[in-house]
Amino acid sequence: MEFDVVFLSRLQFAFTIMVHYLFPPLSIGLGVLLVVFEAIWLKTGDPEWHRLTKFWVKLFAVTFAVGVATGIVMEFEFGTNWAVYSRFVGDVFGSALAAEGIFAFFLESGFLAVLVFGWDRVGKKMHFFATLMVCLGSIFSSIWIVVANSWQQTPAGHHIVAAARGQRAEIVDFWTVVLNPSTIDRLVHVWIGALLTGTFFVMSISAYYLLRNRHVVFAKRSFTVALILGTIAAVAAPLSGDSSARLVAREQPSKLAAMEGLYETTEGGTPITVFGVPDDEAQELKYALQIPAGLSLLTYRDITTPVVGLDRFNPADRPPVLLPFLSFHLMVGIGSLLIVMTLAALFLLWRGTLFEQRWLLWGFVFAIVLVYLGNQSGWVAAEVGRQPWIVQAEFAPVMAARENPDVFYEYHEMDFTRPVNGLRTQDAVSGAINREMVAGSLVMFGLIYLLLVLVWVFVLNTKIHAGPEEGEAAASGEARKGGFFAVAADQADAAGPSSYTDARRKETDGDD
């Protein structure tokens, strides 16, 4: 392993995107829950639901703000560290990025202000509309960014053109780019991950309150709604995962081989590995615990067709196995555990004894960590499994293993005399930067992101300890903590309209 510009830039991108990805899935998942919470409030008019929504909005706001700050970094990094890549994909990504910028970002951050600061400034329905728009905006931006990433995995709808300065991919058909083979499967899987993050986040904090016997009514309501949505997401995850994996088998066989630790193509049905230790040096899987023909069964729905292994690729075209294998298996394991947890909790909820199961509630307090690990490891498998390509090269039409078991996948090397049909990660970095610059920025990001994550945790912690505002419905004998009074006092001291606009606003807002 050499600490060159390529390696350091990959490390920096991996680090910054992984920190960034702490926030968007939570924003998306929590956004959906906010819409549900506020809709229930509007429907029932019960003030308890109002203060419940208000509390989760506060946590949402902090998460969202940090997500925006870390998101700017991602957009800049394409250009700063991956200039060759930017020149290559700019034309294809253009439309997706423009759409994301215009529809998603503005929608989110514009209405976010109303969502967070507008409780006393707009009517109930207008506020609900803002919540809906923020939720839609965050879902929109997930669409465009997954479209762009999916295009890198399974490029379609473009052609390679010799432009004024070197070759680049140019768009031929917009909808083919947007709906490239992997977009839908991957988008659905990302959304499921996001919904799991949002619901387990809410369940974690609610379970904590229940265990501490604080805000009991609030916590039970939040937990119940989140549990129902979370169970749906947990059960849907393997279905979407199965569809996604079969697509990978078809479109990116080397990636599936890496995720499954499949160094060698077998004769007949390929077993699936439940546990094993991949050894990239020796190109073999050690201590493997396997289920015969399992992978063939999952991939082709029969037990005789072999799945292509890494031996069908030139060594230079093989992804590393260790990281995709481990992270993929970690994700699958966590997903299975979440299904068991949510189904058990749902059963106990139906029996009416869920909130007495202290051990299970403790489990839910910490399960959010697992969800995060699952999200991150899924992406590690997806991105490391794509290597050595940054934009996957095209190859001879696939499903090949099925018709032709002896197929060998060969890619054109990067060569400017004829169209390249993909871009290797090692060829994609900026020419204008050197090792010291990237090492420096990596250290800088390390420090500033540490600060940022600390802020996030600290602010969340403060808000969680302060708890939701007390309302009339707080007859549940909860212990009170300080914090709210201090804020209320602060509010009182700045009261009183003292300008024309203010006085007029008071009048117009009277219908609240």
- Cα-trace Rg, the chain: 25
Closest distance of CB 103 from other proteins, Å: 6
The answer to whether the peptide bond before residue 388 is cis (omega within 30 degrees of 0) is yes
CB-side neighbour CA atoms (13 Å) of 489? 5
Q: Does position 174 bind other proteins by CB under 8 A?
A: yes
Closest distance of CB 3 from other proteins, Å: 17
Structure tokens, 247 = 């697509």
Stretch that binds other proteins, among 37-45, 103-111, 258-266, 359-367 (CB under 8 A): 103-111
CB-side neighbour CA atoms (13 Å) of 430? 18
Q: Does position 450 bind other proteins by CB under 8 A?
A: no
Which runs of consecutive H residues, i.e. helices, occur in 467-511? 484-493, 500-508
Of residues 349 through 368, those in contact with other proteins by CB under 8 A are none
Q: Does position 189 bind other proteins by CB under 8 A?
A: no
Of residues 373 through 432, those in contact with other proteins by CB under 8 A are 430-432
Q: Which is nearer to other proteins, 43 or 125 (CB)?
A: 125
The DSSP bridge partners found for residue 423 are 391
What would the DSSP string read from start to end of 297-350? Answer: HHHHSSSSSPPP-GGGB-GGGPPPSHHHHHHHHHHHHHHHHHHHHHHHHHHHHH
Among the listed residues 45, 47, 94, 419, the single contact to other proteins using CB under 8 A: 94
Structure tokens, 431 = 């020419």
Give the integer Cα–Cα distance in Å for 344 and 351: 11
Report which DSSP code applies to 21.
T
Stretch that binds other proteins, among 189-197, 236-244, 271-279, 483-491 (CB under 8 A): 483-491
Q: Does position 488 bind other proteins by CB under 8 A?
A: yes
Give the Å distances, CA to CA, from 328 to 262, 334, 478.
13, 10, 43
8 Å CB contact between 25 and 198? yes
Stretch that binds other proteins, among 261-269, 272-280, 303-311, 439-447 (CB under 8 A): 439-447
Q: Does position 112 bind other proteins by CB under 8 A?
A: yes
Q: Does position 437 bind other proteins by CB under 8 A?
A: yes
Q: Does position 111 bind other proteins by CB under 8 A?
A: yes
Among the listed residues 7, 14, 46, 105, the single contact to other proteins using CB under 8 A: 105
| Binding flags for other proteins, 52-81, as an x/- string (CB under 8 A) | ----------x--xx-xxxxxx-xx-xxxx
| Binding flags for other proteins, 291-330, as an x/- string (CB under 8 A) | ----------------------------------------
Give the Å distances, CA to CA, from 345 to 174, 231, 232, 246.
45, 9, 13, 31
Q: Which is nearer to other proteins, 75 or 413 (CB)?
A: 75
Closest distance of CB 25 from other proteins, Å: 19
| Binding flags for other proteins, 131-170, as an x/- string (CB under 8 A) | ------------------------------x--xxx-x-x
List, in sequence order, every beta strand (DSSP E) within 344-474: 389-391, 423-424
Q: Does position 462 bind other proteins by CB under 8 A?
A: yes
Q: Which is nearer to other proteins, 417 or 499 (CB)?
A: 499
Q: Does position 251 bind other proteins by CB under 8 A?
A: no
Closest distance of CB 195 from other proteins, Å: 24
Which runs of consecutive H residues, i.e. helices, occur in 100-182? 106-117, 124-153, 174-178
Among the listed residues 7, 14, 118, 474, the single contact to other proteins using CB under 8 A: 118
Number of residues that bind other proteins (CB under 8 A): 84
8 Å CB contact between 407 and 312? yes
What would the DSSP string read from start to end of 248-293? Answer: HHHH-HHHHHHHHT--SPPSSSPPEEEEEEEETTTTEEEEEEEETT
Q: Does position 171 bind other proteins by CB under 8 A?
A: yes
Closest distance of CB 153 from other proteins, Å: 20
